[in-house]
Amino acid sequence: MTRRLYLHIGYPKTGTTALQTAIFPSLREYGFYYAGIDEPACASTARSFGAFVHNPASDFTLPAIQAEDILISCESITADCLKYIDKAGKFTPLDPAGLAARCHQAGTTFNPDNIRIIVTLRKQGELSHSLYAQSYTHFFSRDPAVAKFGQYAERLLAGNRIAAAYDYHTTIQNLVTEFGRSNVLVLFHEDMVADPRRYLDELSSFIGRPLPAELPAVNVRLVSNGRRTQTSSLYEELALLAQKHLPPTWTGLGKYLRFLRRIPARNGHVIGRDQALESQITQAFSNTNRALGILLERDLSELGYY
């Protein structure tokens, strides 16, 4: 059987959860094997594939399935490229050639024309802030060099290695070179919010299957400048310890601690937004965003990308 592999690689914070939980699962009705976050076994397959992309030595094989086509949604493929790592040797840029090689290793029935890439984008300023807020406790708060969003933004604006990860044009151009223009679909979070029907029509046409008529309500949470309360961080750590070390009969305690951890956030004690700084970040990429628009034959100024 000749199968087609559809690979959704993120970026994170671009409406991926809505796709993974409300749109992609519907494709199972049309002969797809979907590996996403909605079922534990499928989520494990997606996570394993993401690890495999960045570390070919890791173990990954596709499950023995009879599905006509395969869809893997794994935003960690791009998310891991967006986190600031101070040690040069640990920075992991997206490598389209390596991505193609991992796809071929994962399934011997895939030829180049049978691999199709879905990329979801969002203005760099909003995406960087939303990612920072989400990953603060487990990642950014542990590095004094980026313990505030402004510090992370400085590295973005300095044009160093981390800035290259937000250069959408180079990423998409490299994917097009590797997989072919007709095999790469670029979707925009801004369309998902303002024109979901257009968004779904583009995705449906690319996949060649009908999709639900409507998206669920899109959560455009933009959490607050790199500072959670000590209380919030403490509850987070306690919840992780409870989850790791307590017996299953005590899992309620872990859930309660995670509930307490969310209380400070609801009261506004999370990472304050700086819309001027977010705009500055997006404008720093205006030239590459304009080039992306030319590549996609679309005026991205209408979406605020330059």
Per-residue pLDDT tens over the stretch 290-306:
999 999 999 999 999 99
Helix (H, G, I), strand (E, B) or coil at 116: strand
Give, as one character, the DSSP assignment of residue 88: G
Query: 125 and 232: one domain?
Result: no
Question: Does residue 234 carry a pLDDT above 70?
Answer: no
The count of structural domains within the chain is 2
Question: Does residue 101 carry a pLDDT above 60?
Answer: yes
Answer yes or no: pTM beyond 0.85: no
Query: 40 and 151: one domain?
Result: yes
Query: 73 and 135: one domain?
Result: yes
Query: 260 and 281: one domain?
Result: no
Range of the domain at 248: 228-269
The fraction of the chain above a pLDDT of 70, given in percent, is 75
Strand partners, 8: 73, 118
Give, as one character, the DSSP assignment of residue 237: H
Query: 239 and 161: one domain?
Result: no
Distance CA 190, CA 14 (A): 9
Contact 120, 8 (CB under 8 A): yes
Query: 279 and 264: one domain?
Result: no
Of the candidates 305, 295, 298, 306, which has an alpha carbon nearest to the alpha carbon of residue 169?
A: 295
Query: 262 and 299: one domain?
Result: no
Question: Does residue 3 carry a pLDDT above 50?
Answer: yes
Of the candidates 164, 140, 116, 295, which has an alpha carbon nearest to the alpha carbon of residue 227?
A: 140
